[in-house]
Structure 1
Amino acid sequence: MTNKFESDSISSLLLKQAIPASIGILVMSLNMIVDTIFVGRWIDVLAIAAITVVMPIAFFISSIGMGIGIGGSSIISRNLGKQNFTKAFNVFGNQISLTISLSLLFILLGSYFHLPILEIFGAKGSIIAPATEYFLVIIWGVPFLAFAMMGNPVIRAVGKPNYAMFTLILPAIANIVLDIVFIKFLGLGMFGAGLATSISYAVSGLFVIWFFLSEKNELKIIPKYFIINFSIVREIIALGGITIIRQGTISILMIILNHSLFYYGGEISISIYGIINRIMMFALFPVLGVTQGFLPIAGYNYGANNSKRVKETIKTSILFGTGIATVIFIVIMLFPSQLVRIFTNDQELLNLTPNALIITFLATPVITTQLIGSAYFQAAGKALPALLLTLLKQGFFLIPLVYFLPKFYGINGVWISFPIADILSTLVTYLYLKKEVNRHLN
């Protein structure tokens, strides 16, 4: 099933894994971008701010599924490399049980405590009403999203990257179509935007369920493996907890960021960041695709004790990703105003956003080393260094920078925090990865 991970050329494997992952991330990014465009043009500027506040909450919950998926897929990849299929099945069954249980808990807590949750994440003033309307609808689709995000890396781990791509493409198409119907033609406003998003999450989750019930792979949904095995759960959480903690850190960042944006720039600054964030998600999709493609290749060969191929995978991935990131950087620097104009006709946003966009993307060419470096330790099952390196940018650097720099430089202090955090986290990751390679892969 996965012999190609130890026999095909690394460049070929990386392309086969990264291209579908990139396309999936691209479509998912387009999904959110189109969402932002539609609400910005068909509702109002505050709708962009509302989505900017709500989406980190939804994705924190989905990241629980993603963390369980990535942690489990790392174990699955290594056990497939060792031909230990029983362990792989047990891990997958426990992933399903964890994802469903935690997602249902979120629905209960989120429904009851929605207002304080939204206020914590920066819903202030006139943002509160549209944010509440949107949140109370999408909350019902988040368990499906969590299940899809859990299944996505597992599908890649069993060597089916094209199907993993469809877990992201299908809901994106559904959301875009439903946005047009609910917002443009039926005039349902933020409720319509939330309903479209929630249904699209369900489409993704149901597709993943279909895949694992079908004959498309050897890993199946088998109820007898749903029984929680605490040793497996600890192993999943040790690795998947990295993703969950990272997203939790991003949630803390968003709390501080949204409060800083509102304090130093008002509601308009939250909308500005909403546009920048969507452009960032879209622009970086191929780099993230390379990182996702890197994980199963490195994990399999690490499990098979093939150090030479692991090193080659690291080098090739960094080379590919850096080249792509440099092209992205050039495009952003040349066409900032044109990119912003896609999202809005509001003159104030058009005046203020391009400069902020340029500043936030200044360190883009160097980011691949940080992404691949932290991903390597995750693929190798080394939880602590993977966790620390993953938290470098958002946790150790960006949160304090976003909090302190605006005190001296106002709203520009927020924007300049991003490239500074990118450079510092990349430097630390490079030094740590180089030490690891010299010590354990030679």
Structure 2
Amino acid sequence: MNNHVQRIGEEKVSKLLFKFSIPAIISMLVSAMYNIIDAIFIGHSVGPLGIAAVTVAFPIMMIQMAFGLLVGVGTTTLVSIRLGEQKHDEAQSILGNGFALVLIIALIVSIAGLIFIEPLLQLFGASSDVMPYAKDFTTIILAGSFFMTTGFSLNSLISAEGKPTKAMILSVLGTLINLGLAPLFIFVLGWGIRGAALATVIAQSITAILIVSHFLRPNSYLKILLRNMKLKKELIINIMAIGSAPFLVQLAQCVLSAVMNQSLLAYGGDVAISGLGIIYRIMTLIFLPVLGISQGAQPIIGYNYGALQYQRVKRTLVLAISAATIISTVGFILTRAIPTQLIMLFNDDPQLVSFGTNAMAIFLFCLPILGVQVIGSNYFQAIGKPKHAMVLSLSRQVLILIPLLLILPKYLQLQGVLIAAPISDFLSTVITVIALVYEVRRLNQKENDLVRINTEEGNVLS
């Protein structure tokens, strides 16, 4: 067996989680910093309307990511479990089918998005003032959808192969290219918001090419082989079943964005959309490292679950939740200490700063407990239980939050939009904790059964 893979079942769990999570966190942080710096560039070159344009365009980018997650999470989870079961050939077959599937989906998403671009932007809250900027930005992003979806889908598989540092380097490289091109295109060449979109697409294209080339190298433990790219119904169903939870969560985010942006537009106008767009970017800076912890834990949990090493599974879960909670708490303290300064980084418009400072205090009120909900729901993905993962993930974004957004603003107007988020965060976390308690009890029972079986076999042999 490949030594990089074998260590997942043997090394100290805390050391493994550190090795797998730190590269993912760095990668996520660099990506988050790009989103923030890019919005700062747009805010200072185009103004609040530019920030609003990127905010209403972002759900379309989330649709791209949703399809990347549909294939990427499903493929990575199945590959991790098969490697834990010592089934290398099956893992490669899953990889080949996943790659073929993402190529087909990416092409369809790009074409469909370009055809329906204006109705989509209107759905996500683009006013007549914001529409020209949003359309310029989104057209270029959709034209490059093929590369974004492919790269996003396959990068986590490099970690599953036991090489998280390389996965981080490829992700960071793309982001650094983006950061270098964005100010050149926006300010030096004067391309404005189109320049921001073009910089993003070029960087994503380079990253995708490098990620795919990794699996074509002779020394790669997992390889993309032409014979494995012939779609197999059973594999495709399994990939999409496991990936359906994060996929539906991302789509739910799109529905959520449509409902929220329409409410913001109705009760606060373009300034409210711009302000919440800034808050989302600041939250992303905190939230993505939590996802990095989750991403780092996924192959460890999946491999050890497949290898029946349940103590290591539980240890990874506890450490991941602890680390995620520390990160989210530090972020919470930061948003309470300097909220006005954070908003003013993007634009110093007095109305925008006033709304953003007030909204941040309300919207992020339950941020410290969010790590439990994220790690808990993603845990069920890692062990191949998509239904559990889907319910827990959707509890926060759909089952609780969207109904609150439809009800509360009717009575509380703009304040109703803002308080819906912390209420949803709290209730979904409670549900996740309950599910995890039952799951840990189940693991304890399975562990006891293994001990009993091994003891009985030992007695028979003696």
> TM bucket by the smaller chain?
over 0.9
Runs of 5+ unmatched residues, structure 2: 446-462
Per the alignment, residue 430 of structure 1 pairs with 433
1:8-67 deviation line (CA, Å, top 9, x unaligned): 111111111110000111111111111100000011210101101112112212221122
Per the alignment, residue 166 of structure 1 pairs with 169
What is the aligned-residue RMSD (CA, Å)?
Answer: 1.2
Contact 2:32 2:284 in 1 (8 A): yes
Per the alignment, residue 455 of structure 2 pairs with none
Per the alignment, residue 343 of structure 1 pairs with 346
Question: Does residue 247 of structure 1 match 2:250?
Answer: yes
Secondary structure, counterpart of 2:347 in structure 1: coil
Per the alignment, residue 182 of structure 1 pairs with 185
Distance 1:67 1:438 in 2: 29
Question: Does residue 48 of structure 1 match 2:71?
Answer: no
Aligned AA (2:46): I
One of 120, 129, 133 as aligned partner of 1:130? 133
- Residue 284 (structure 1) shift: 2.3
Contact 1:290 1:317 in 2 (8 A): yes
Question: Does residue 77 of structure 1 match 2:84?
Answer: no
| TM-score (structure 2 length as normaliser) | 0.93
Contact 1:283 1:328 in 2 (8 A): yes
Contact 2:62 2:251 in 1 (8 A): no
What is the 5 A alignment of 1:391-430? 391-430=394-433
Aligned AA (1:306): Q
Aligned AA (2:266): Y
One of 354, 358, 364 as aligned partner of 2:357? 354
One of 312, 317, 320 as aligned partner of 1:317? 320
- Residue 278 (structure 1) shift: 0.5
Greater CA deviation, 256-265 or 315-324? 315-324
Per the alignment, residue 114 of structure 1 pairs with 117
Decide which structure has the larger Cα Rg and report it.
2
Contact 1:62 1:142 in 2 (8 A): no
Per the alignment, residue 303 of structure 1 pairs with 306
Greater CA deviation, 380-389 or 117-126? 117-126
Per the alignment, residue 387 of structure 2 pairs with 384
One of 30, 33, 36 as aligned partner of 1:27? 30
Distance 2:100 2:128 in 1: 39
Aligned AA (1:328): G
Aligned AA (1:86): D
| TM-score (structure 1 length as normaliser) | 0.98
One of 208, 217, 237 as aligned partner of 1:234? 237
Moved beyond 3 Å, runs of 4+: none
Per the alignment, residue 278 of structure 1 pairs with 281
Aligned AA (1:414): V
Aligned AA (2:89): T
Contact 2:66 2:248 in 1 (8 A): no
One of 36, 39, 52 as aligned partner of 1:36? 39
Distance 1:296 1:206 in 2: 23
Distance 1:28 1:326 in 2: 20
Contact 2:47 2:347 in 1 (8 A): no
Greater CA deviation, 410-419 or 249-258? 410-419
- Residue 342 (structure 1) shift: 1.2
Aligned AA (2:412): Y
Aligned AA (2:55): T
- Residue 371 (structure 1) shift: 1.1
Greater CA deviation, 424-433 or 6-15? 6-15
- Residue 152 (structure 1) shift: 1.6
Per the alignment, residue 452 of structure 2 pairs with none
- Residue 372 (structure 1) shift: 1.5
- Residue 202 (structure 1) shift: 0.8
Count of matched residue positions in the alignment of Structure 1 and Structure 2: 442
Secondary structure, counterpart of 1:203 in structure 2: helix
Per the alignment, residue 148 of structure 1 pairs with 151
One of 272, 292, 295 as aligned partner of 1:292? 295
Distance 1:406 1:269 in 2: 14
Distance 1:339 1:10 in 2: 36
Q: Percent identity?
A: 37
- Residue 168 (structure 1) shift: 2.2
